[in-house]
Structures are given as structure tokens and as C-alpha cells.
Chain A
Amino acid sequence: MMKFHSTGGALIKDPWDVVAGVVLLGFSLLLLFHLVPNYIGQPPIMQNPMMSPRWLPTIVGWLLLMFSVMMIIQGLLVADDAEDSGRRFERGPWLRFALMALSLVVYVGLFEMLGAVISGILATLILFIAHPVRTWWIYGLAIVFPVGVTLLFTGVMNVPLPMLPF
């Protein structure tokens, strides 16, 4: 029982696994009883149940259900190998993380509206500030790259990136 020594006395050996297992369990139930019957059309006549568009999703659903239960059990009984998973780390300041999330939001929400160049510059600047980068000329890259790469994509590779907001 060497493996279990780290969290020896706790009731739940690996809370992350239990949480993930419960979420997956919920998802598989949702899939089986709501998504498959409501969002997968089934033709009225079929010679073989295996031909149905619902056949494989249903099987996947049941297997997911089974494995998520196993994952919960595993989480209750087996601790994860600490040195293996790389899950543990020292958390940085929350502002850094929030700014990163903000830059993703810029891409998600403003990409089409502001165009590739402006949203690219904006998001890159935010990420530089988040780190924070202290060399001033690096901030110039935040303008050079989005402009340069956009021109490469549109001009050379014929990709119609959204350009400017007007």
C-alpha cells in the first residue's frame, strides 16, 4: 500500500477525480436521456438497429456512464501519483490570469467586429502587460506581428481575414 501513503487517512483520496467523475456521470445521463433522443433524428424505417444514427452515440453514452462511475470509485480509493501528473504548481497572481482570460475574450468577442489586426494588437498587448514584459521595444512586436501576419495571410495565402472595423 505504498501508493496511498500521501493521503493515507483522508476519506477521498483524489477529490479532482471524484469531481470529474460526477460531472461526466451527469453528462452521460444528459446525453442518454436528453441529447440523443431530442437532437439526433432517426429515420422511420430501418432494417437493422445498428444502422440508426443513434446507435453509436447511445453506446458511447452507456460506456461513458460506466467509466465515470469507475472514475468516481477510483477517485475514492486511489490517490494519484503526485510526481506524475504535474497537477500541482504554485499559483501566480490572479490579475495575470484575469488579463489572459481577457485577451481570450478579445479574440472571441471582437475578432469579427474589430478585424484581425486590431484585435490581434489588443490581445497581444494585454498578454504582454499580464506577464508583465518590461522591455519597452517588445511592445512594438505587438503591432508588428499582427500587421505582418495578417498581410501574410490575406496577401500571400489568400485567407480573407476580417480586416478593419469599417
Chain B
Amino acid sequence: MKKILNVLCAAVCGGAVSLSLSISTAQAQEWPTDDVRLVVPYGPGGTTDVLSRRVADLLQEELGTNVVVENRPGAGSTVATGRLARGGRDIDHTILMASPGHTIGAAIFPDLTYDPVEDFVFIQNMIDIPNVMVVPADSPYNSVLEFVEAAKEQNMTFSHSGVGSSIHMSGELFKTLTETNLTAVPFSGSGAALPALLGGDVDVSFENIPTVLSHIQTGALKALAVTSAERSEYLPDVPTMNESGEYNLDQFITTAWFGLIAHNSFPEEATAAMQEALQEVMKREEFTSFVEQLGAEKGTIAGDEFKAFITDEVARWDEVAAKAGIRQE
């Protein structure tokens, strides 16, 4: 019954703990005044979901309130994001774990009902997962340049985990920058895509590092380059795309980012409280080891910096989607 009561309270006086409190004291009280809702725009089981549940677990200790994870999958992540943008009840206690789907979705679906930048408050980037360009072990190519030169001569294929995934878009970005003949081969999820790469059915993939790390370590896959700005601590011997230097590859920096956003009416003090709590969460030993096990890196940007990053991402994927012909008209 507590839940019903809570909803009732929230509806009546904007999230006060009890009806007996007057409106003024309710406002004076520090955020959070109610359970925090963490919306996962994907179904259970993916990286976004696992990360959100870990963050929620630690965050409720820092905030001293329940953090309830809620899955609302659909159309990339645009269904949940659209819902958030529309606002509504409890909007000052609702946060969403956004990921590349947020910016790529905006590029692929032109008739979105929301603006991916202006309709939201960008709280904190939690983790970054860089991608790595991998080829099967018996592939004749040992560097990015060798691969690009070969791909200019003949048709090559790359596997990805679904239209509009960051893995797909990375491949399309590579194709546009290097002007090579790459064909996208879609799979439903990385789990299904991996055997095709391991078995040599496709020539290359731009997978998330954690997905393929153990295969690189056992030698089943060859890593040609990582897509982050600096070398990854997990693969210190693998050069960055940037180091390859040629074919515009210095512009090839993509990471799968995961960060918390909220509706743009999210109170300022709430953003501040969230950022403070999240800083504490990110310092925790549990979070550090979790991030390491994911093969990820801790996010560094928050607030305006985070927003500027999103703005750039939206513009970039917009261009790639248009060139690759995967924009819905």
C-alpha cells in the first residue's frame, strides 16, 4: 500500500513525504523527497540494464532513498526517451540511462516527437565502452591501413548487432571516412554476430571491447585498432584509429557512452544532488571493479560538457545516417 500512498502524495503535493506537511516545507526539503525512478530504455539483460541496476543499487545508498529500475523498451530507445520528454507525474524524480541509441535514434528516425538535446538535462556520463576493430585470426590483414587498401579493391563485409546500434554506425562511419566498399551484415545482437566473425563469414567488426576481449586474448580474433581517443588500458598494444593517420581516420573516435539524463524541467538542486551522489558512487570500490569487469572506462563528463558532447554526436550520426541511407523518410 505504501506505493499507492506515495503516488497519492506525489500527485497531491509534488512529492512530499506526507500529506501533513505544508507545501512550503515540502519545497524547502532537500531533493529527493520520494523514490527515484531510473528508466532503462531497453529490455532486461543488456549492458544498459545491468549497468543501471548496479548504479541504482549504489545510488540508493548514497541518496538514502529507493531507486527503482524500470524497463521501457521500444524502437531503439526512442519510446522511453519520448515518454520522458513528454514529462508528467514524478518527472522531478525520474532519470533515464541514455546510451548511443539516444543520439543515433535521433539520426535514424526523423519524425521524433522530441529534441534529443534541448528537451533534457544531462546529469552525468557514467561509463564509456570503446569499440575495437577486429578481424578473424586467419585474416590476411594486420593493420588498419592494410585493411583499408584491400577494402578499396574488393568488397568486404562487416557484422553488426542490429540497424542503428553503435556497432553498425561505427562500421558505416568507417566506410564513409575511408571511402571503402564495406557491406553491413545485420545480426540480432552481438551474441549472434560473434560466431560469424569467429568463423570468418564476415571480414571485420567494430565490436565493444568487452564483448571480444577474451577472444582477442586467446588469439581467436585480431585487434587492428581501438576507436577511443587514447589507447585502451585493456588492450595497451593495440593502436588507436588516430595513430593510423591516413584516410581521415583521425576523425574516427567513437565510444559507447552510458549516462543519466532527465527531463529539462528537472530541478537544478536535484541535478546538483544527483551529480554529487553519482560522484560518490563512481568513487566506490564496487563501482570501480564493476567498470573494470565490464571492460569499460569511467565517464568523465557531466552537465554542460556532457550536453556539448551529445550535440556533437547528434550532428555526426545525422550525417552518417544520411550518407549510409538508413534514415527513415
Contact = CB atoms under 8 A, between A and B. Distances in A.
A37 to B, nearest CB: 15
Interface string B228-256: 00000000000000000000000000000
Contacts of A163: 3-4, 7
Interface size, B (range): 10 to 19
Interface stretch (A76-84, A89-97, A153-161): A153-161
Nearest to B7: A163
A155 B3 contact: yes
B4 A44 contact: no
A164 B12 CA distance: 13
Contact of B11 (A41, A43, A44, A166): A166
Interface string A64-80: 00000000000000000
A41 B3 contact: no
B8 interface: yes
Interface string B1-14: 10110011001000
B70 interface: yes
Interface of B is mostly: mixed
Interface of A: 41, 43-45, 151, 154-155, 158, 160, 163-164, 166
Given A155-B3, A164-B8, A41 B325 contact: no
Contacts of A158: 68-70
Nearest to A117: B4
Given A41-B328, A41-B329, A154 B70 contact: no
Contacts of A41: 328-329
Nearest to B1: A151
A45 B70 CA distance: 41
Nearest to A154: B3
